[in-house]
Amino acid sequence: MTDAARAVAAAHEAEWTFVLAAAARVAGDLDVAEDCVQDAYAQALVHWERSGVPAKPGAWLTTVATRRALELRRRAQTVTRKLPLLVPDPVEELPGADVDEAGFPDERLRLVFTCCHPALAAESRIALTLRFVCGLRTREVARALLVSETTMQARITRAKKKIAATGIPYRVPSPGELPERVASVLDVVHLVYTSGHTAASGAELTHPELAERGIGLARMLHALLPAEGEAASLLALLLLSEARRTARTDAAGALVLLEDQDRALWDRAQIAEGQTLVEGALRRPPVGRYGLLAAIAALHDEAENWEATDWPQILALYDLLFARWPSPVVALNRAVALSFAKGPAAALAAVDELAEVPALAAYPYLTATRADLLRRLGQADAAADAYREALLLTANEVEAAFLQRRLSELT
């Protein structure tokens, strides 16, 4: 690979969001903007090979892409084309090749808030974010989210059509709208990460690239919204969770529970950064959902060993979390904490109540949790039945193998 090719690849990784966001504002059309950006990268490969890599690759690419977008827009008979985006301010003349890249964060926010608009379905928000904010190709997004490329292409197309039909604006929300919209963006980033933290199906426990994309998005949001405590808290949560990744499986790829993990394998730099972010967020009330989740993750990571885990404090944090965000999944996680703070019998009663919640009817972690509680209580036959039920609901092969091992131990 030539120096120019390496520079283009590095610029795609580092500058894609900057360049696309700026081109989208000028074009008023995500499809046109994407074409302009791809053309700019193609030109870079030729031009940089001949003339050398510029001092500011992102500025060079942005200038080329936005000039092309402006040219196409001026040619058009109407402001919109395939995917209209409302542009709140008139298009300005573009700067020259000495564009200051520090001026682009607001453009990235426009792009992020458009892709994560709450009017779009959650799956569409994730797909658009990976496609346009992260710069993944459609086939890469499809592979990451475990669907066919055809299905993903249709999903992205439907989402773009909805943006057009509902007039979703390409802008940063007003101060009054910001809290709700930030929450939507943070939820998308969290879903991107969790989709990588534990793969929904397949032969691998994790999807590391997707998890890294989630952390990258969280870093970007924290940099763009430094006063937003929940953005800092989300980044902390992801770092504190990711710090344990290498210890979650053994050399053979088998699942290792938190209580059995070799904590020497945990990434102490990520833990330290996450703890610093948590401490800063907790000093700026009100503390939101991600602040509480990050505080729980920090308590796990601070414990020198499993026995040193502060379960009473973790349970208290789950009580606060459930009071503010009464989700069935939070209630299930609280039941797990309850089992270690006050014993499995009390937790089993709580889990049995959750079994009546329709949203958890096919949730594999509910039956797996119930199986583990019955095992700890010495009810082998009932635990075995619960493990068999959990196996029917579990698509991840690593998790299924763990459940099968537990079942074999009982039978």
Residue type, 287: V
pLDDT of residue 72: 85
pLDDT of residue 131: 87
Query: 73: which 2 tokens?
Result: 């827009």
Q: Which residues on adjacent β-strands are paired with residue 70?
A: none
Determine what percent of the chain is predicted with pLDDT higher than 70. 92
Answer for the pair 56, 44: CB distance below 8 angstroms, yes or no. Answer: no
pLDDT-derived band at 14, boundaries 50, 70, 90: confident
Secondary structure class of 202 (helix, strand, coil): strand
pLDDT of residue 97: 32
Higher pLDDT, 300 or 73: 300
Angle in degrees, CA 89, 92, 98, rounded to 5: 130
Q: For the chain, what is the total number of helices (H) and then of strands (E)? A: 18, 0
Angle in degrees, CA 66, 69, 74, rounded to 5: 125
pLDDT of residue 276: 97
Q: Of 123, 280, 117, 111, which is closest to residue 183 (Cα–Cα)?
A: 117
Say which range, 31-40, 135-144, 351-360, has the weakest mean pLDDT. 135-144
Burial of 230 (0-12, 13-18, 19+ CB in 10 A): buried
pLDDT-derived band at 106, boundaries 50, 70, 90: low
Tell me the pLDDT tens digit for each residue of 386-408.
Answer: 999 999 999 999 999 999 999 99
Cα dihedral sign, 189-101-224-180: negative
Query: 312: which 2 tokens?
Result: 């009473």
Residue type, 365: Y
Secondary structure class of 161 (helix, strand, coil): helix
Higher pLDDT, 209 or 303: 303
Burial of 361 (0-12, 13-18, 19+ CB in 10 A): exposed
Mention every residue, 6+ apart, whose C-beta is less than 8 A from residue 48.
4, 7, 8, 54
- What per-residue string of b and e applies to 74-97 under the rule 16 or more CB within 10 Å gives b? eeeeeebbebbbebeeebeeeeee
Higher pLDDT, 76 or 135: 135
Tell me the pLDDT tens digit for each residue of 193-247.
Answer: 998 999 888 899 998 988 998 999 999 899 888 989 999 999 999 999 999 999 9
pLDDT of residue 103: 37
pLDDT of residue 85: 52
Peptide bond into 226 cis (omega under 30): no
pLDDT-derived band at 73, boundaries 50, 70, 90: confident
The arithmetic mean of pLDDT across residues 350-355, rounded, is 95
Tell me the pLDDT tens digit for each residue of 110-132.
Answer: 888 888 888 898 889 989 988 88
Q: Of 241, 253, 245, 204, which is closest to residue 395 (Cα–Cα)?
A: 204
Per-chain mean pLDDT for the chain: 88
Question: Residue 129 carries which DSSP code?
Answer: I
Query: 201: which 2 tokens?
Result: 């199906």
Answer for the pair 93, 151: CB distance below 8 angstroms, yes or no. Answer: no
Angle in degrees, CA 206, 210, 212, rounded to 5: 100
pLDDT-derived band at 363, boundaries 50, 70, 90: very high
Residue 82 has pLDDT above 70, yes or no: no
Residue 45 has pLDDT above 50, yes or no: yes
pLDDT of residue 147: 81
Measured distance CA(388)–CA(385) in Å, rounded:
5
Measured distance CA(75)–CA(256) in Å, rounded:
60
Residue 95 has pLDDT above 50, yes or no: no
Tell me the pLDDT tens digit for each residue of 274-289.
Answer: 999 999 999 988 899 9
pLDDT-derived band at 354, boundaries 50, 70, 90: very high
Mention every residue, 6+ apart, whose C-beta is less than 8 A from residue 316.
none
The arithmetic mean of pLDDT across residues 352-364, rounded, is 92
